[in-house]
């Protein structure tokens, strides 16, 4: 399960970002995860909760915003949100499409209490 590796990297980033704040405590982390990112949100939550113990994110909540798969058709120009991972335009059935959203894996924001 590669979500443990992702959670470990996430916690390392959190530690680095909170360094300028003495006695910092992270209270919330919000991630954006695309539908085709290959990351399972529930598995990532589990890994995050298991690995955060003893660190500055120990009591933080992890919020995940799932980003749907969006494509732009290069034939008809329509932008579509797809439920299935098949990159086919639902308007003209062309396969000449560009994925414009759905592979994201990024930290959207963090809330930090600095102890003051």
Q: How is residue 15 annotated by DSSP?
A: H
Annotation: CATH topology of 3-68+102-113: hypothetical protein PF0899 fold (3.30.2320)
21-64 confidence digits (pLDDT tens) = 877 899 999 999 999 999 999 999 999 999 999 989 999 999 99
Tally of residues, the chain: 116
pLDDT in tens, 53-112: 998 999 999 999 999 999 999 999 999 999 998 999 999 999 999 999 999 999 999 999
Domain ranges in the chain?
3-68+102-113
HSE-CB at 60 with a 13 A cutoff on CA atoms is 32
Is residue 86 within 8 A of residue 99, CB to CB? The reply is no
**Global confidence as pTM:** 0.85
């Amino acid at each position: 399960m590669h979500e443990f590796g992702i959670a470990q990297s996430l916690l390392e980033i959190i530690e680095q970002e909170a360094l300028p704040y003495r006695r910092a405590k992270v209270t919330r982390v919000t991630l954006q995860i695309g539908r085709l990112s290959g990351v399972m949100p529930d598995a990532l939550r589990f890994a995050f909760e298991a690995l955060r113990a003893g660190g500055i994110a120990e009591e933080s909540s992890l919020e995940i915003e799932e980003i749907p798969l969006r494509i732009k058709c290069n034939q008809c120009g329509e932008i579509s949100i797809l439920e299935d991972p098949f990159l086919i335009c639902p308007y003209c059935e062309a396969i000449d499409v560009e994925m414009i959203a759905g592979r994201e894996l990024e930290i959207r924001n963090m809330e930090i209490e600095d102890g003051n």
